[in-house]
A = this chain, B = another copy of it.
Amino acid sequence: MNIYDVSAKAGVSIATVSRVLNGNPNVSDKTRNRVLEVMDELGYTPNVFARGLGLNTMKTVGIMCSDSSDPYLAHAIYYLERELRANGYDSILCCTGSELVNKRQYFELLLSKRVDAMILAGSKFVEIDSAEDNNYIIEAAADLPVMLVNGYLDAPGIYSTVCDDHDAMYQVAHRLLQSGRRQILYLYTSHSYSGMNKLQGYKDALTAHGMPVRQELIHRCAKDLGEAKELLLSLADSGLTFDAVMTSDDSLAVGALKFAHCRKKSIPEELSIVGYNNSMLSYCTDPEISSVDTKIESLSIITVQSLMKVFGGGQVPGKSVIKADFVQKQTTDL
């Protein structure tokens, strides 16, 4: 017998059951009575960790990420855990994969553990194409703070810390254009909030330079260096020419570099390459790949600082933005 059974039988969400348990006034009398009735019928007793019973909190925060072995997310988790621990909080980690059904299920599972807050690390948790798929997050945020690291949702109780991806990509494209590049290929992995901002930055820089946005230069690709290399080989074989490659992730830039080696292009003269996230991957290659440092340590620290402020009843903006840095290495001459 648990909160799931109550939620299923009453025909309401976990978050609603949780609100009733917490005495949150934001539930209609009708719904509250229905939930209490079902609890009674099922003989459900809220577990000992329920905050609503006036016990201490668990001092535990749920951290969700799609894949903790991704280099960017691995660093996010490292810094988040360190900062939470420094503030006396444990981190329950949950790697969800990329399927919405799993994200949602794990999210509700962590809620049922009575965590004090949720941190969603990475841009993959907010659906851009189907806004109603984010309702479960918005609903939960009525009961506990939800922190988004590099994602954005505008709703009460949700606090986003994001890198200014639009500006970062705008600056990269602007500098490539200034240095005389005219056919900048753009490779990206995801339609997330972050992914769309990056792409828009690229497009806006072209427009600012009076250049057309050419769809045949914009390609989506799996986050896989082998696939990125093959994609570029087939684009080149189809007659497309390009003198620079901008990517939304270092792994794609590594694939672009393998393409360049394969076709014996001189770098950066014939082909400039720019990665994103400035991960260890961008330092492993010869030449090393110029990349955008998205300040994941700062993002993580600000996220935890904001959360502590929320816990303390302080005012925190719904969105905090930090600037990225372009790190020039050997695949550009900007």
Contacts and interface: CB of A to CB of B under 8 A. Distances in A.
Contacts of A90: 92, 94, 113
- Kindly name the residue among A77, A280, A285 whose own CB sees the greatest number of chain B CB atoms within 10 A: A280
A81 B69 contact: no
Given A75-B69, A284-B254, A286-B285, A81 B55 contact: no
A74 interface: yes
Interface string A193-225: 000000000000000000000000000000001
A32 interface: no
A227 B307 CA distance: 38
A60 B254 CA distance: 39
14 contacts: A67-B78, A68-B68, A69-B75, A69-B77, A77-B77, A85-B106, A90-B94, A91-B92, A91-B93, A92-B93, A93-B93, A225-B283, A280-B281, A281-B284
> Oligomeric state, in number of copies?
2
A258 interface: yes
Given A81-B93, A85-B94, A85-B106, 17 more contacts: A48-B49, A67-B78, A68-B81, A71-B71, A71-B74, A71-B280, A82-B95, A90-B92, A91-B93, A93-B93, A251-B280, A254-B284, A258-B286, A280-B281, A284-B285, A285-B285, A286-B286
A82 to B, nearest CB: 6
A120 interface: no
Interface in A77-125: 77-78, 81-82, 85, 90-95, 106, 113
A258 B69 CA distance: 25
Nearest to A106: B85
A61 to B, nearest CB: 10
Contacts of A82: 95
Interface in A168-207: none
